[in-house]
Amino acid sequence: MNATRPAARPPPEPDPAQEEATAAASAHRARVLVVDDDERNLLAIRTVIEDLTDVETATSGEEALRHLLKGEFAVILLDVYMPGMDGYETAEIIRGREQTKRIPIVFLSAVNKEKEHLLRGYSMGAVDYVFKPVEPVVLRSKVAVFVDLYTMTREIRRKAEQEQRLLDDNLRANAERLRVEQELRRAEQRQAAIIRSLPIILYLEPEDASPRVPQFVGGNFSAVTGFPFDAVRDNPALWAERLHPDDRERALEALEERRRSGVMAIEYRWQCADGQYKHFLDQAVLLQESDDGPAQFAGTLLDVSDRRELEGQLLQARKMDAIGKLTGGIAHDFNNLLAAVLGGIGLIERRLPLGEEHKKIVAMTRRAAEQGSELIGRLLAFARRQQLQPAGIEAAALAATVTDLLAHTLGGLVRLEWHSQDGVGRAYADSTQLELGLMNLIINARDAMPRGGTITVTARNESAAAGNRLGLPDGDYVVFAVADTGSGIAPEILEQVTEPFFTTKEVGEGTGLGLSMVYGFAQQSGGAIDIRSTLGEGTLVEIWLPRAPEEEMPAEADPETAETPPAETAVLRILLVDDHDGVREATAAMLGDLGHDVEAAGDGPSMLERLAANPTGFDLIVTDYAMPLMSGIDMLKRAREISPDTPGLVISGYPNSRSIGTGPDEVAVLAKPFTMTQLEAAIGSALRGPIPHRGPRIGEPPS
């Protein structure tokens, strides 16, 4: 028979819930404990109820109790009369134990049908009685009731537990969701707070918006721009309107280009609500169309003003430094030339019998050379190469001197007022230079007020940290401030006014060296200047100088001005070294005019040769400081090895070279340009021995 097998029906899909229920039911099938000392009774009862329930049997109360330790029962069928522990006693113990006290007990009783016995049984916790001989139908139905009850109770409990579990799971899930949500919100708040505290705005902008208007901004828009975001919504042209005129075209072009390329990175100045321009770095990329919406630009607007300002300051500082070096070098060379010119003029005046006419010409030439020398002095001051003699300066004395010096200069329209803070300290600086500096500032103030006004000069103490803004180290300062109510300085030239030769004055009216001199002098003195100005309102220029210590600090002696007895009248044999022909010849002539015998050399090595040839042949070596082959100081050191007793005098165009150490001693130094009298005095001090180092010095060592 070739019957095709019917297509095998797939086995029914097991229902997991039902399976679980059946498993649970069989695992926990109700059990009944039957206790009787008569095995036959046990067997009979088992037979009657076996198909309803699992049956456990015990032949004594003790055995029954042991069974009860091992599990639950739907009902206990308990024989009343048993040897040893009888049914009542057993029931009492069962009722007394927490785990078993709720198990229903049905007494099996053969005889005692009397009421009193029944009551005892009930009081011992029986729920029913079955009398022997047992009627199977009655027993079955009673047991069935208890088994049902048990099963239902179990079921209800199981369901309740399941529901509780579900409820717990639900609660746990809810709590977890809440926690995650809170965490997310906190993270968002944190991010928002960070972005708000940064000088940055995040934005989303529709790709085709024209004019550009962001749809969404993140970050503190109003803190960065000063405008509420609504202002941009209300006036879409705001962004373009407030671009700096010099940056507008470039920024608008970049925006156009952004449409084509999908990216943009541009920096521009933008006028914030307070009228100030900020430097913004604006960067954006195109996010392509997506499910979330149409294509849009995502971008950031970063305030980089601080960075730009710092860069600007750094650049300016470097520029000033470079100009300083350049100026210093040129001034030094000119100083040399002027030394020769002035020396030559001196010689002409001394050696040639001049008529009145010629005397006038020579005097005019000398004045011009001296003016040049003054100019050079200001350049050297800017280049921080001025010779400074710092000392403690009283504000009151300074006020008197400067007022006196300016008496005929200020003119009738301008009033000069001095205000010194009570207890203002003494500034530690070169008083002549400070007087010059203040005069420069006051004259600038006067020039800024052509229709007159009041110039106020104040002196006050400032402490440590206040000066940090100016890049000054911690310390005590005295500040001299000159304020006017004049034309003010335009912000765009504010940085330039301290540059040498920067002037807005007519040709011939200003050299542009006034503020440069003050700037260099303040720096060389360990201070700074601070200029603040508002166009049309006035200018405030402050000179910050270190405060002098309380006790009196003597001024450094200056060989040029120090009182020196005239040099010995004796004829000296002088060995002169200078690489500059003009200066050498002029100096040699001056020395000759002072009555000395001079032997001149153009560089150190050849001079040393001459000294070696005749170590005791000279009373003094006079040398230039800066020479290409060997510096004057190095040369003097070598000379001392050959002829230890021959004194030296250094002539230098560099400031502070009088503090040049030569090893064990210091050497007399004469600054260029010098007069005949100064030369004579310097020779005198050189012959008297080395000049000891006195008092503190400021300024740079010579280069």
Ligand X SMILES: Nc1ncnc2c1ncn2[C@@H]1O[C@H](COP(=O)(O)OP(=O)(O)OP(=O)(O)O)[C@@H](O)[C@H]1O
CA angle (573 as vertex; 568, 578 as ends), nearest 5: 110
Q: Could you say which of Mg ion, ligand X, none residue 497 binds, taking C-beta under 5 to 8 angstroms by partner kind?
A: ligand X
For residues 74 and 150, is the Cβ–Cβ distance under 8 A?
yes
Burial 349-359 (b: 16+ CB within 10 A, else e): eeeeeeeeeee
Is residue 431 near Mg ion by the rule CB under 5 A? no
Is residue 624 near ligand X by the rule CB under 6 A? no
Is residue 486 near ligand X by the rule CB under 6 A? yes
Is residue 502 near ligand X by the rule CB under 6 A? yes
Is residue 444 near Mg ion by the rule CB under 5 A? yes
CB of 389 to ligand X, least distance (A): 23
Interface pick for ligand X out of 510, 592, 602, 684 (rule CB under 6 A): 510
- Which range touches ligand X (CB under 6 A), out of 151-159, 456-464, 482-490, 668-676? 482-490
Per-position x/- string for 285-304, each x denoting binding to ligand X as judged by CB under 6 A, each - no binding: --------------------
Strand ranges for 63-206 from DSSP E: 75-79, 105-109, 126-131, 200-206
Is residue 494 near ligand X by the rule CB under 6 A? no
Q: Could you say which of ligand X, Mg ion, none residue 652 binds, taking C-beta under 5 to 8 angstroms by partner kind?
A: none
Strand ranges for 172-254 from DSSP E: 200-206, 216-218
Is residue 542 near ligand X by the rule CB under 6 A? no
CA angle (10 as vertex; 7, 11 as ends), nearest 5: 135
Q: Could you say which of ligand X, Mg ion, none residue 227 binds, taking C-beta under 5 to 8 angstroms by partner kind?
A: none
For residues 372 and 334, is the Cβ–Cβ distance under 8 A?
yes
- Which range touches Mg ion (CB under 5 A), out of 210-218, 472-480, 513-521, 534-542? 513-521
CA angle (415 as vertex; 412, 421 as ends), nearest 5: 160
For ligand X, how many residues bind (rule: CB under 6 A)?
22
Burial 273-286 (b: 16+ CB within 10 A, else e): eeeebbbbbbbbeb
Interface pick for ligand X out of 220, 487, 643, 662 (rule CB under 6 A): 487
Is residue 497 near ligand X by the rule CB under 6 A? yes
Is residue 515 near ligand X by the rule CB under 6 A? yes
Output the CA–CA distances (angstroms, integers) from residue 583 to 338, 577, 662, 683, 701, in the order listed.
Answer: 9, 10, 24, 17, 24
Of all helices (H) and strands (E), which one includes residue 684? helix 676-688
**610 contacts: CB under 8 Å, gap ≥ 6:** 575, 599, 601
Interface pick for ligand X out of 59, 386, 431, 516 (rule CB under 6 A): 516
CB of 222 to ligand X, least distance (A): 36
Q: Could you say which of ligand X, Mg ion, none residue 512 binds, taking C-beta under 5 to 8 angstroms by partner kind?
A: ligand X
CA proximity to 77, closest of 141, 138, 150, 126: 126
Residues 64-93 that bind ligand X (CB under 6 A): none
Backbone conformation region of residue 411, classed left if phi is above 0, alpha if psi is from -120 to 50, else beta: left
CB of 388 to ligand X, least distance (A): 20
CB of 620 to ligand X, least distance (A): 40
Per-position x/- string for 417-456, each x denoting binding to ligand X as judged by CB under 6 A, each - no binding: -----------------------x---xx--x--------
Query: 670: how many CB neighbours lie within 10 A of its CB?
Result: 24
Residues 464-503 that bind Mg ion (CB under 5 A): none
The strands making up 54-58's β-sheet, listed across from edge to edge, are 54-58, 31-35, 75-79, 105-109, 126-131
Output the CA–CA distances (angstroms, integers) from residue 17 to 14, 22, 104, 493, 567, in the order listed.
Answer: 9, 9, 31, 89, 127
Output the CA–CA distances (angstroms, integers) from residue 43 to 70, 109, 363, 439, in the order listed.
Answer: 22, 16, 157, 134
Q: Could you say which of Mg ion, ligand X, none residue 487 binds, taking C-beta under 5 to 8 angstroms by partner kind?
A: ligand X
CB of 453 to ligand X, least distance (A): 11
Is residue 601 near ligand X by the rule CB under 6 A? no
Is residue 511 near ligand X by the rule CB under 6 A? yes
The strands making up 648-652's β-sheet, listed across from edge to edge, are 597-601, 573-577, 620-624, 648-652, 668-671
For residues 488 and 537, is the Cβ–Cβ distance under 8 A?
yes
- Which range touches ligand X (CB under 6 A), out of 39-47, 121-129, 319-327, 513-521? 513-521
Residue closer to ligand X, measured from CB, 299 or 486: 486
Residue 460, beta-bridge partner list = 479
Residue closer to ligand X, measured from CB, 510 or 684: 510
Residues 386-405 that bind ligand X (CB under 6 A): none
CB of 536 to Mg ion, least distance (A): 20
Residue closer to ligand X, measured from CB, 59 or 516: 516
Interface pick for Mg ion out of 324, 514, 527, 559 (rule CB under 5 A): 514
CB of 414 to ligand X, least distance (A): 12
Residue closer to ligand X, measured from CB, 516 or 623: 516
Residue 540, beta-bridge partner list = 483, 532
CA angle (151 as vertex; 146, 155 as ends), nearest 5: 145
Interface pick for ligand X out of 513, 589, 608, 682 (rule CB under 6 A): 513
CB of 444 to ligand X, least distance (A): 3
CA angle (346 as vertex; 345, 349 as ends), nearest 5: 85
Of all helices (H) and strands (E), which one includes residue 174? helix 136-197
SS3 per residue for 406-468: HCCCCCCCEEEEEEECCCCCCEEEEHHHHHHHHHHHHHHHHHHCCCCEEEEEEEEEECHHHHH
Own/partner pairs, 373-377, CB within 8 angstroms, 24+ separation: 373/335, 373/338, 373/342, 373/673, 375/511, 375/513, 376/331, 376/334, 376/335, 376/338
Interface pick for ligand X out of 226, 262, 453, 512 (rule CB under 6 A): 512
Interface pick for ligand X out of 220, 401, 420, 503 (rule CB under 6 A): 503
CB of 454 to Mg ion, least distance (A): 19
**Residue of minimal Cβ distance to ligand X:** 514
Residue closer to ligand X, measured from CB, 516 or 587: 516
Residue closer to ligand X, measured from CB, 510 or 582: 510
- Which range touches ligand X (CB under 6 A), out of 50-58, 67-75, 514-522, 694-702? 514-522
Which residue is associated with the tokens 């053969």? 110
CA proximity to 517, closest of 405, 441, 426, 427: 441
Is residue 504 near ligand X by the rule CB under 6 A? yes
Is residue 533 near Mg ion by the rule CB under 5 A? no
Residue closer to ligand X, measured from CB, 403 or 485: 485
Is residue 592 near ligand X by the rule CB under 6 A? no
The strands making up 414-420's β-sheet, listed across from edge to edge, are 414-420, 453-462, 477-484, 538-546, 528-534
Is residue 685 near ligand X by the rule CB under 6 A? no
Q: Could you say which of ligand X, Mg ion, none residue 122 binds, taking C-beta under 5 to 8 angstroms by partner kind?
A: none
Q: Could you say which of Mg ion, ligand X, none residue 81 binds, taking C-beta under 5 to 8 angstroms by partner kind?
A: none
For residues 488 and 436, is the Cβ–Cβ distance under 8 A?
no
For residues 217 and 202, is the Cβ–Cβ distance under 8 A?
yes
Residues engaged in binding Mg ion (CB under 5 A):
444, 514
Residues engaged in binding ligand X (CB under 6 A):
440, 444-445, 448, 484, 486-489, 497, 502-505, 510-516, 539
